[in-house]
Amino acid sequence: MSTVFETVPLHLEAEPGIPHLRNQNDCDAAKVLVEQLLTMVKGDDGHPLGGMLDVLLQSVNQFERQYYRFAETEAKDRLSFLMEMGRLSVDDLSGVADMAELKAVLEGSRPVSAQLAMRLGQFFRAKPELFLK
């Protein structure tokens, strides 16, 4: 029986320690694994699979920066994308932010504060700058 771990191609020809995703199929397969890992790790910094999640997120980020203009989107769209990728609802982020604040950010009626960017960065294992304009 094949597991999702066996279906993600990891090509170590890019930066040392960061698997290189060669094409959109590689990236899509890595995203499937990221979704599963996000469900298992759920923001636990000490989780044994946290390192694997970090490496895969870096690989996906590297691929998408190269082929897509993610940085040109608004912070609310980047947050929405990460939530969708992890199949997360606003309720799933209740420990990260006030629900009203989070909903206002996602609606675009409120910018992401520096403190919220820090908390979102910790939760998604991303740089806080990702959530700022």
45-82 tens-digit pLDDT: 788 888 888 888 888 878 877 777 655 788 888 899 88
Question: DSSP E strands: which ranges in 61-104?
Answer: none
> pTM of the entire structure?
0.50
Interatomic CA distance for residues 131 and 21, integer angstroms: 24
